[in-house]
Amino acid sequence: MKEEIKAYNNVLELIGNTPLIKLNKVTEGLQGNFYAKVEAFNPGHSTKDRIALYIIEEAEKKGILKPGDTIIETTSGNTGFSLAMVSIIKGYDCVLAVSSKSSRDKIDMLRAMGAKVYVCPANVSADDPRSYYNVAKRLHEEIKGSVYINQYFNDLNVDAHYKSTGPEIWEQTNGMITHLVACSGTGGTISGAARFLKEKNPAIKVLGVDAYGSVLKKYHETKEFDSEEIYPYRIEGLGKNLIPTATDFDVIDKFIKVSDEDSAHTARHIAKTEGLFVGYTSGATFQAVKQYAEAGEFDENSNVVLIFPDHGSRYMSKVFSDEWMREQGFFDSVNLEEAQKIEF
Ligand code: PMP
């Protein structure tokens, strides 16, 4: 009998089925059990691999996409990387309109994956012609045979997580999950996973993470868009200056806001205590867990699942650079013991 070679046919077969990893040390002093769904284990190192593959394959099924066509998207980086990766394997061109807030590493990575990248100013309103939304729309109009992924306003973004992230968490926890804690950017991850989990057990609490400078928490509470909530902040991929239709506010029980500084320190702390090198929004997610715990959200029977969206290597020139942290003033309030460990 011929020996079989055990190989994946291509990198796309590795998308999804990410591990759930128990957090042991960073959780000291908190009541409950905490498990991280570590999305950096996707081949594109983030949760966005799931939506890139799912949305492109849905378009193929509907006959919208044919080889040689162009995929267009606005992205803080991760979705762009995943779309570029899927485009390579499936034979599409990938054109990305990116916010100037994105790290240099992310933009270089997109170009390394063959994408054509347009860098657009971050601090202009969504309706400004220079915003990455409008640049992408214009490119879509100009390039024949192009598909605009439009993750903020595409229900397929939510469906991707309803069909993969949600069921994986349910299976991995044997249905014993009591709380889901996740960041909201487009809202696809939290909405899709929450919708699936609440259909299985409506008692599961879904706790959202928002950023200071974003409108999501206030909108969830008041159903009104309050532009006073909006101001520039540093965390990429978390929160928003508009209301995405990909966010299902009805399946989210509450939001909490986290700061740039706390989230940065927490991301660094997770790496040092758990050996998990995860990104800025993973820091934001665990920071939110600490704040939710302080507010009495969990008890010793809680099984809390946190989504860690991406890998720390994407933030070497930001959160994981001492120089960047110092420039932001994030070391100004650290205690003496911590200050001794900082190398200048
Ligand atoms: N973290 C990072 C690093 C991201 O890029 C994103 C996506 N913008 C999110 C979290 C939030 O995920 P979602 O868009 O599914 O709400």
Pairing mode of beta strands 116-120, 205-211: unpaired
Can you tell me the distance from the alpha carbon of 42 to that of 311, in angstroms, rounded to the nearest whole number?
A: 10
**11-46+162-328 placed in CATH 3.40.50.1100:** yes
Determine if ligand 1 sits within 6 Å of the CB of residue 65.
Answer: no
- Residue to probe by mutation, ligand 1, list 47, 109, 255, most atoms within 8 Å of CB: 47
Catalytic residue chosen out of the listed positions 2, 22, 25, 48: 48
Please give the distance, rounded to the nearest whole angstrom, from the Cα atom of residue 185 to the centre of ligand 1: 5
Can you tell me the distance from the alpha carbon of 199 to that of 268, in angstroms, rounded to the nearest whole number?
A: 35
pLDDT tens per residue, range 329-339: 999 876 656 65
Non-local (6+) Cβ contacts of 265 within 8 A are 283, 330, 334
Determine if ligand 1 sits within 6 Å of the CB of residue 80.
Answer: no
Q: Where are the beta strands (DSSP E) in the chain?
A: 20-22, 33-38, 70-75, 93-99, 116-120, 146-148, 179-183, 205-211, 254-258, 303-308
Facing residues of 147 across strands? 71
Determine if ligand 1 sits within 6 Å of the CB of residue 78.
Answer: yes
ipTM above 0.95, yes or no: yes
Helix (H, G, I), strand (E, B) or coil at 275: coil
Determine if ligand 1 sits within 6 Å of the CB of residue 309.
Answer: yes
Helix (H, G, I), strand (E, B) or coil at 306: strand
* Burial call 231-255: b when 16+ CB within 10 Å, e when fewer: eebbbbbbbbbbbbebbbbebbbeb
Angstrom distances, CA of residue 63 to CA of 58, 94, 99, 291, 318:
9, 18, 31, 47, 41
Determine if ligand 1 sits within 6 Å of the CB of residue 214.
Answer: no
Single out the residue of 204, 331, 337 nearest to residue 261, CA to CA.
331
Please give the distance, rounded to the nearest whole angstrom, from the Cα atom of residue 133 to the centre of ligand 1: 16
Q: What is the DSSP string of 210-263?
A: EETT-SHHHHHHHSS--GGG----S-SSS--SS--TT--GGG--EEEEE-HHHH
Name the residue type at position 168: E
pLDDT tens per residue, range 118-137: 999 988 887 899 998 899 99
- Measured from the Cα of 186, ligand 1's closest atom is 14
Successive 10-residue mean pLDDT values, the chain, 344 residues: 90 98 98 98 98 96 91 87 97 93 82 94 88 91 91 96 98 98 98 98 98 98 95 92 96 98 98 98 98 98 98 92 95 66 54
- Residue 133's pLDDT is what? 84
pTM: 0.93
Can you tell me the distance from the alpha carbon of 67 to that of 34, in angstroms, rounded to the nearest whole number?
A: 44
Name the residue type at position 118: Y
Helical packing angle, 165-172 and 155-163, nearest 10°: 20
- Residue 76's pLDDT is what? 59
Single out the residue of 47, 35, 57 nearest to residue 238, CA to CA.
47
Can you tell me the distance from the alpha carbon of 195 to that of 207, in angstroms, rounded to the nearest whole number?
A: 13
Single out the residue of 173, 181, 171 nearest to residue 206, CA to CA.
181
Considering only CA atoms, which residue is closest to atom 5 of ligand 1? Answer: 237
- Residue 216's pLDDT is what? 98
Instruction: Give start-end residues of each CATH 3.40.50.1100 domain in the chain.
Output: 11-46+162-328, 47-148
Is residue 48 flagged as an active site residue? yes
* Burial zone of 10 (CB within 10 Å; 0-12 exposed, 13-18 middle, 19+ buried): exposed
- Tell the CATH topology of 47-148: Rossmann fold (3.40.50)
Can you tell me the distance from the alpha carbon of 131 to that of 117, in angstroms, rounded to the nearest whole number?
A: 14
Pairing mode of beta strands 93-99, 20-22: unpaired
Pairing mode of beta strands 179-183, 93-99: unpaired
Please give the distance, rounded to the nearest whole angstrom, from the Cα atom of residue 219 to the centre of ligand 1: 18
Please give the distance, rounded to the nearest whole angstrom, from the Cα atom of residue 237 to the centre of ligand 1: 5
Phi then psi for residue 27, to 5 deg, are -90, 0
